[in-house]
Each structure stands twice: as structure tokens, then as C-alpha cells.
Amino acid sequence: MYQRILFQPLRTGVIEPGRFIQVLAGPRQVGKTTLATCFNT
């Protein structure tokens, strides 16, 4: 699977001890859902 550019920074934000809410925002059809499902696997 193609690894999105924002995957690593988002992953770092998710596993930080502070556990702040991460928001995926952007225009339509840029891969937001695909990026989010990468964390499910």
C-alpha cells in the first residue's frame, strides 16, 4: 500500500503520552479515510 506523507507525523501524535485528539481535515478525495484505516490494521 502507498504510504501517505502524513502517516508518520500522525502516528507520532497518536502514540505520544499526552494523547491529544487527532483531527483529519482536508478536501474531498485526498485519502483521509484511507489514512485513518491504516491505524486499524
> Does a structural domain hold residue 25?
yes
The predicted model gives 13-20 an average pLDDT of 77
Residue ranges making up the domain that contains 13: 7-37
Q: pLDDT at residue 23 above 80? A: yes
Contact 24, 34 (CB under 8 A): no
Selection from 7, 4, 2, 5 nearest residue 39 by Cα: 7
The pLDDT score that the predictor gives to residue 34 is: 84
Residue 22 grid cell: 487527532
Residue 31: pLDDT band by 50, 70, 90 thresholds? Answer: confident
> Does a structural domain hold residue 2?
no
> Does a structural domain hold residue 1?
no
Count up the domains in the chain and report the number: 1
